[in-house]
Structure 1
Amino acid sequence: MLNSLQSSFGTIFEPDLFAEIAEVGNLTKVSEGEKIIEIGQYVRGMPLLLSGAIKILREDDEGDELLLYYLERGDTCSMTMACCLGDTQSEIRAIAETDVELVMLPVRKMEEWTAKYRSWRNFVFDSYHNRLNELLTTVDSIAFKNMDQRLVEYLEEKSRISSSKIIVNTHQEIADDLHSSRVVISRLLKKLEHLGKIKIHRNQIKLINF
């Protein structure tokens, strides 16, 4: 596990901190589509993502979801950290976007490392900053962009994360992530196909001119 940690987090952490993480961390593998954290759950560990991608979702009062942001290799979830330290229930849902490998860290170590290691403090603060910027980007997208633009950006981001021009999602799944309806998403995808930007297949979308 130590080699995976060093590969994913480079020179971010001191050698002594790498050694402690390897000693107390729980290496976990999660398959694509599996839930990692559920809304209302008490979070007992903080994840460090070694490989793959995780999507973070928020749910409204009617049970509809909205994609907030993705976590990728070298990331952690600041919302999870807040729940761990405050012993509060999770307000987000985390689902493996791809097959994922991560290390779960015990809550008791988080405060200890904050006092002990400067690199850990910097990592935590940077994580909060990055997630806040991503949330602001999501808010800006909802407030200032039409669904056409949001859909294009969504497809581009999915393609980047999967390193593939093939998006394996149903129209309903895309609608759920964008907090829209399947009818609207299907209509906009047909429009993109007419413009020659994508090719629609059953449960798949091939990006052509992106």
Structure 2
Amino acid sequence: MHMPIVLEGLLSVVRQDEDANEILLYYLEGGETCAMSLACCIEGKRNDFKVTAEDNSVLWMIPMNYMDEWIQNYRSFRKYVFSSYQTRFDELLETIDSITFLNLYDRLYKYLLDKKQATKSYEINMSHEQIAQHLNTSRVVVSRLLKQLENEGKIELERNRISIL
């Protein structure tokens, strides 16, 4: 087992159930690690999430047998691991809040803004189906809400491309 650290690129971490329904948990950028992977490796369990490279990415895979030693002997590494874990925990709480307290229109718009921030681009190259999978809803609903956002002047739609205004 290994703990990944993203050196460059962008990864999405998605929770998937047995019926292949998905919900986006968070993004990982350069310099970040996946707390879910760390927790699974420490407990020696198989993970229940899927990680996808959103663009060309380079990872450093640290063998778990080094992790205990490095956490004990290197304060800066220990601080990095715990800080990463706290950041991911905060993002998971934000995801729970979004699912619980926001309607789908607001969740979709927040998703687009989060994607813009993660990719550092005002253009999102994704199909409506891919977005629907990340939000655990139907393509038809996403398409309708995207059209509403376009009519309100918040985005522009093209085939497999969304421009955030």
Instruction: Calculate the TM-score normalised by the size of structure 1.
Output: 0.76
Cα deviations across residues 104-136 of structure 1 (Å, max 9, x unaligned)? 111110001111111111111111111111000
Distance 2:4 2:19 in 1: 28
Count residues in correspondence: 165
Distance 2:121 2:86 in 1: 29
SS at match of 2:126: coil
Distance 1:160 1:129 in 2: 20
Residue 144 of structure 1, aligned match among 101, 122, 138: 101
Q: Which amino acid is 1:78 matched to?
A: A
Q: Does 1:155 align with 2:112?
A: yes
Q: Which amino acid is 2:156 matched to?
A: K
Equivalent residue number for residue 21 of structure 2: 64
Q: Which amino acid is 1:146 matched to?
A: N
Q: Does 1:102 align with 2:59?
A: yes
Distance 1:59 1:197 in 2: 30
Distance 1:91 1:150 in 2: 23
SS at match of 2:97: helix
Residue 165 of structure 1, aligned match among 82, 102, 122: 122
SS at match of 2:25: strand
Equivalent residue number for residue 22 of structure 1: none
Q: Which amino acid is 1:94 matched to?
A: V
Instruction: Calculate the TM-score normalised by the size of structure 2.
Output: 0.96
> Shift in Å at residue 143 of structure 1?
0.2
Distance 2:59 2:17 in 1: 28
Tell me, which stretches of 5 or more residues in structure 2 are unaligned? Answer: none
> Shift in Å at residue 61 of structure 1?
3.2
Q: Which amino acid is 1:119 matched to?
A: S
Provide the aligned C-alpha RMSD in A: 1.0
Equivalent residue number for residue 149 of structure 2: 192
Distance 2:76 2:120 in 1: 30
Q: Does 1:112 align with 2:69?
A: yes
How many percent identity over aligned positions? Answer: 45
> Shift in Å at residue 187 of structure 1?
0.3
Tell me, which stretches of 5 or more residues in structure 1 are unaligned? Answer: 1-43
Q: Does 1:82 align with 2:42?
A: no
